[in-house]
Structure 1
Amino acid sequence: MTATLSRLPSGTVVDGWHVSRELGNGGFAVVYLVEKNGKPYALKVARHREASGDDKQTHARMVREATTLLMLNHPNIIRHRGYGYAETGNMYVALEYVDGWTLAEWKERKHPTIHEILRVFVKLASALSYMHERGVLHRDLKLVNVLIRKSDGEPIIIDFGCATYSMAEDLTEEGLPPGTERFRAPEQFKFLREHKNEHRARYAFKVADEIFALGVMLYELLTDPRPAENRPRIAPNNPLMPPPPVRRVNPRIPLALSELVERILSRDPSQRPVDTEALRRELEEHLERSGAEYMVPAHAPSEQWSSESSGVGGPPGVPSNGPTLPKRASRVLAAGAALVMALTAAVTFWRVSGDVPSPIPDHSAPPMTSPLDMSLPSPAPIVLPPATDVGQKEGSTVKMTTPEVPIQERRTRVRNKVSAAECAGLSLVAALAAGCPSSQIRPESFTCPAGAALAMEDHLHWETGDRFTLVIDDRHNKEGRVWFTPGSDVVGVVPKDNLYGKQREVAPTGTRFYGKVYYLSDKMGRADGPALVVRYDRVKLPGQDEHPICFVVEGRSYGFKDGRVEASNYLSGRVVDRWP
């Protein structure tokens, strides 16, 4: 069986999609411009098929991307138009085709005003708020993953290959989820340093990480005259030095906006806007209050020459074949180059010290980025609903098409027929098809795998029904209540006190439980039952190797807000052979 995808030549037909040409390719998928019924679409085809020895799990990524896109219907998010399998057996996802520029290209070609840039970011924050309400995290926001449509200037978020959603199986085998290093929040690298000796520790990606990535994008558009140019830059997440304020780099930027960007890029996540809806409101407030100082291009067009005319490769500010840069731009570039050299040396020392691994090149990313390419394990099978004829990809451009029956209309029709109580019993995809809100989808039922059952019996000496007490998430204090986000990863720990009976011997102090948070809302007919559900599937006793387990904690809630549930952080759970 062929392990990888052979390129599809022009003229190939895949399920009625006529291939015109290749738009782009990376380590996980190849994207083609295709035509169907006289309209252009984009066809994203996984490099591997399900049973082809796919060590990067590109098939699993494609299944997850298709499932994620089924959850979304927003004017500023790429639209799903179908999925299926090529003759080779490789899965594909069809997307709308957007005829536009990447965000960086738009900045250089159109010389937008500060007001126009803010308008774009208000819409991006609105789209992210919509995603987050549905439990979806993009996890790879960057300048090349946003397109500005030429026809109307609307921003479109693309490439959901790294995305995840509430209750999705964890595909990542490394400490950090897949993504691009430059746009990672600083706390991700801090996590790696603090857990470098725990090979199974996993960082729980949060909305705060998404907000930081959006802040990096805004920072670069406001401070960099040529963001699409491939050249060294100061890393906004540098562990030794935060980036200089926007206004210090570019005096054109109003002070209030500069201060907002500085807060978005704060090293302390609690200092950033609390969520993307709050960020949208702040950006919109700046937009509404903007005066004459917002109506000028973020950079003078004379500063935004292309790399050909700016003489890239020569001394900063001194083009090799063209006029001299303005004096202020020359000074900024020269100072920036010196700072880059100093920081490069510092970061090299930081990496060599062993705190953070060097990035692994991801050939699906453009040359200017250096993402960490994480390998992915096989997910649990996901059954997708029947394909619909409803096409685009990362880094290319896309024209809107309207399906015969809008997705939202179809969901509304079904939602009228499905009660909240019925939503409680549905699987993920069935609940999506029925139009149930993502916050009301119950955790999937499961039977404990044979390997976990054997490990608990033979190695841990645990029996079904044994109850152990632990701190649910060791990032928070044992006492008090915590707001838990469904779908997030948690690491529980057994504290020093309150060990009773059998737990002292088989789950002693320091035992660490690795799992994921779910919840059952009171709108699902569970008003008098447990609301918080945490499923732990791995455990590590002090001085021992990790073992697979089936351990569930259920607790009452004290409130629901913004897709989160408030519950105690110190509860008891039980060993199970199935759930519920």
Structure 2
Amino acid sequence: MTANLLRLPSGAIVDGWHVLRELGNGGFAVVYLVEKNGKPYALKVARHREASGDDKRTHDRMVRETTTLLMLNHPNIIRPQGYGYAEAGNMYVALEYVDGWTLAEWKERKHPTIHEILHVFIKITSALSYMHERGVLHRDLKLVNVLIRKSDGEPVIIDFGCATYSLAEDLTEEGLPPGTERFRAPEQFKFLRDHKNEHRARYAFKVADEIFALGAMLYEMLTDPRPTEHYRRMSLNNLIVAPPSASDVNPRIPEALSRLVEKILSRNPSERPVDTDALRRELEEHLERSGAEYMVPPHAPSEQWPSAPSEFEGHAVVPPKDPTPRKVTRKTLTVGTALVMALAAAVTFWRACGDVPASPSEHSAPPMTAPPDMSTLNPSPMVLPLAVDAGQKEDSTVKMMTPEIPSRERPMRAQKRLSTAECAAMSLVAALAAGCPGSQIRPESFTCPSGAARAMVKELHWEEGESFVLTVDDRHDIDSRVWFTPGSDVVGVVPKVKGLSRRQLEVAPPGTRFYGKAYYLSDKMGRADGPALVIRYDRVKLPGQDERPVCFVVEGRSYGFKDGRVQSGNQQTGYVVDRWP
């Protein structure tokens, strides 16, 4: 089996599955949107990198996930469609493709009522009961691992990468099984405290842990007006202090429902429902007794807008003030038409450089749940607002069809203003149109957004100016020199190597992943030593934790400059910053 899996390019074929694009990647696998017989699917391919352990362990995890999925057949659980081996020898499993929203996105975009939320959780609980009867435990339940299908509103549990089943081999080398800290039951942390000196002690994950995670999900759906955003949240699994009741946090929540959620989140596992089937019955009985107070959203849609302008990608975001469609003038159409022509010409010019994959076939898959990242400029059409106008109605009649400029996932309220990512995309297109591939993407000065600064200080315990060692691009060996394309996405990882400082091992340990974008730094920005590489990482994910926004910069020495690319070393030291340069 190969020691590294290079990401599959668009157009690649794996056992008849035609790769369209990458959907996402994690520590042990990469997921692609693929097509077969005119239908879309998701292809999850095992991968190996420095943070993943040896090849055999990566392979064993994929075998266990595939085995788990083959044991299940339920309408609210993701279904396997086939499995096998890619050309490089890495195992894959093909899955049904779910065009939908995560639970958090569903709440923010569709504003479901409390009644609708409970109805969805009854179906999730029923699916979990089905799993548990067959000895399967998911072990990583959270809002992003449940999708609401757009076509019928049905919930689908996804991502069984942490799942296990009765008599399965134990692949965990740590005291706790894999999972997400916020959704762990309190008894897991008590186990770590009680067995801190027993290096071989392993926690036995139980149904009670799964029930707690489900309760944490329901608590957030009822109390958090903006669950997709990154900010400090109260602990739900503190061993000493219980979280406030849902009705105390949100007066809209009926007292009876609040008491049920409090029971599910009890720090004493024996006080929770005895199993998921009992929980399902309690939710159903509760819903049958519900009244008019359940027929409203847990938060008014207006509460899901900040009371004051907030930062997003460096821009102030304000809610729409007037839902009336804006009058479209001839001047507006002229400007919009000019923009369309310029972008279309630029994309055509860029395609001539050979950097843009061919368009998907006429049977291409429906849109992704989350928009693809900025680095992929696809010439298929999308709807673009005619002008930057926070008051324009989302469904205005007059809209322009333009070459697609996918942007990073963001709250719906930000979509009526051009984000920094979209502006960067236009700059990229213009630069490439001016001269491919000689023009480069240069980083602009920035001040760290307050959300990222707060996350680094209060959640990650990082200090401004401290440095961490990392592999800049985890697709390549740590000791290699890598050609970086300015404007492309880069995923870095802290490798398992000797020499990491004690401080880094505490706050940015091996396996920590950094997500960012590569830039070209010219001598015009005050550097006299010629071309160099800048990587600005704006997100980080520590092992077993959720992603958080950050401001982390790597400035790499250039070893070469060719065809618009910059060569630099793959082991670098990056810095925590509050502004750059």
Q: TM-score band (shorter)? A: 0.5 to 0.7
Q: Distance in 2 between matches of 1:91 and 1:43?
A: 10
Match of 2:226 in 1: 226
Q: How does 1:138-149 map to 2 (within 5 A)?
A: 138-149=138-149
Matched residue SS, 1:83: strand
**Given that residues 146 and 156 in structure 2 are in contact (C-alpha distance below 8 angstroms), is that contact kept between their aligned partners in structure 1?**
yes
Greater length-normalized contact order (CA 8 Å, ≥ 6 residues apart): 1
Match of 1:382 in 2: none
**Given that residues 26 and 364 in structure 1 are in contact (C-alpha distance below 8 angstroms), is that contact kept between their aligned partners in structure 2?**
no
**Given that residues 43 and 92 in structure 2 are in contact (C-alpha distance below 8 angstroms), is that contact kept between their aligned partners in structure 1?**
yes
State TM-score, norm by structure 2. 0.55
Residue 305 of structure 1 and its aligned partner are, at CA, apart by 2.6
Pair 1:110–1:53, CA change in 2 (3 A): closer
Q: Distance in 2 between matches of 1:323 and 1:81?
A: 42
Q: Which amino acid aligns with 1:261?
A: V
Q: Which amino acid aligns with 2:245?
A: P
Pair 1:3–1:104, CA change in 2 (3 A): same
Pair 1:257–1:88, CA change in 2 (3 A): same
Q: Percent identity?
A: 78
Match of 2:551 in 1: none
Q: Does 1:285 align with 2:281?
A: no
Q: Which amino acid aligns with 1:71?
A: M
Q: How does 1:446-465 map to 2 (within 5 A)?
A: none
Match of 2:84 in 1: 84
Q: Which amino acid aligns with 2:318?
A: G
Q: Does 1:322 align with 2:329?
A: no
Q: Does 1:135 align with 2:135?
A: yes
Q: Distance in 2 between matches of 1:145 and 1:272?
A: 22
Q: Which amino acid aligns with 1:18?
A: H
**Given that residues 148 and 155 in structure 1 are in contact (C-alpha distance below 8 angstroms), is that contact kept between their aligned partners in structure 2?**
yes
Pair 1:133–1:359, CA change in 2 (3 A): farther
Q: Distance in 2 between matches of 1:168 and 1:135?
A: 10
Q: Does 1:262 align with 2:258?
A: no
Residue 285 of structure 1 and its aligned partner are, at CA, apart by 1.0
Matched residue SS, 2:176: coil
Residue 79 of structure 1 and its aligned partner are, at CA, apart by 0.3
Q: Distance in 2 between matches of 1:258 and 1:230?
A: 24
Match of 1:118 in 2: 118
Q: Distance in 1 between matches of 2:223 and 2:64?
A: 35
Residue 311 of structure 1 and its aligned partner are, at CA, apart by 4.0
Pair 1:211–1:250, CA change in 2 (3 A): same
Residue 199 of structure 1 and its aligned partner are, at CA, apart by 0.3
Match of 2:394 in 1: none
Q: Which amino acid aligns with 1:59?
A: H
Matched residue SS, 1:117: helix
Pair 1:132–1:364, CA change in 2 (3 A): farther
Match of 1:542 in 2: none
Pair 1:53–1:282, CA change in 2 (3 A): closer
User: Gapped runs of 5+ residues in structure 1?
Assistant: 326-339, 347-356, 375-580
Q: Give CA-to-partner distance per residue, 1:125-184, whole Å, 9 cap, x none.
A: 000000000000000000110000000000000000000000001111110001111110
Residue 88 of structure 1 and its aligned partner are, at CA, apart by 0.3
Q: How does 1:222-371 map to 2 (within 5 A)?
A: 222-305=222-305, 310-311=310-311, 322=318
Q: Give CA-to-partner distance per residue, 1:444-496, whole Å, 9 cap, x none.
A: xxxxxxxxxxxxxxxxxxxxxxxxxxxxxxxxxxxxxxxxxxxxxxxxxxxxx
Q: Give CA-to-partner distance per residue, 1:325-357, whole Å, 9 cap, x none.
A: 9xxxxxxxxxxxxxx9999799xxxxxxxxxx8
Pair 1:249–1:269, CA change in 2 (3 A): same
Pair 1:189–1:22, CA change in 2 (3 A): same
**Given that residues 28 and 46 in structure 2 are in contact (C-alpha distance below 8 angstroms), is that contact kept between their aligned partners in structure 1?**
yes
Q: Which amino acid aligns with 2:30?
A: V
Q: Which amino acid aligns with 1:168?
A: A
Residue 297 of structure 1 and its aligned partner are, at CA, apart by 0.7
Match of 1:11 in 2: 11
Pair 1:68–1:202, CA change in 2 (3 A): same
Q: Does 1:180 align with 2:176?
A: no
Matched residue SS, 2:278: helix
Q: Distance in 2 between matches of 1:203 and 1:56?
A: 23
Match of 2:74 in 1: 74
Residue 230 of structure 1 and its aligned partner are, at CA, apart by 1.6
**Given that residues 181 and 369 in structure 1 are in contact (C-alpha distance below 8 angstroms), is that contact kept between their aligned partners in structure 2?**
no
Matched residue SS, 1:266: coil
Match of 1:447 in 2: none
Residue 322 of structure 1 and its aligned partner are, at CA, apart by 3.5
Pair 1:43–1:342, CA change in 2 (3 A): closer
Match of 2:101 in 1: 101
Pair 1:371–1:222, CA change in 2 (3 A): farther
Deviates more, 1:52-61 or 1:258-267: 52-61
Q: Which amino acid aligns with 1:271?
A: E
Q: How does 1:140-179 map to 2 (within 5 A)?
A: 140-179=140-179
Q: How does 1:58-73 map to 2 (within 5 A)?
A: 58-73=58-73
Matched residue SS, 2:101: strand
Q: Distance in 1 between matches of 2:311 and 2:6?
A: 39
Residue 359 of structure 1 and its aligned partner are, at CA, apart by 8.5
Q: Distance in 1 between matches of 2:539 and 2:261?
A: 22
Q: Distance in 1 between matches of 2:200 and 2:508?
A: 18
Residue 304 of structure 1 and its aligned partner are, at CA, apart by 1.2
Pair 1:261–1:359, CA change in 2 (3 A): farther
Match of 2:191 in 1: 191
Pair 1:133–1:264, CA change in 2 (3 A): same
Q: How does 1:380-419 map to 2 (within 5 A)?
A: none
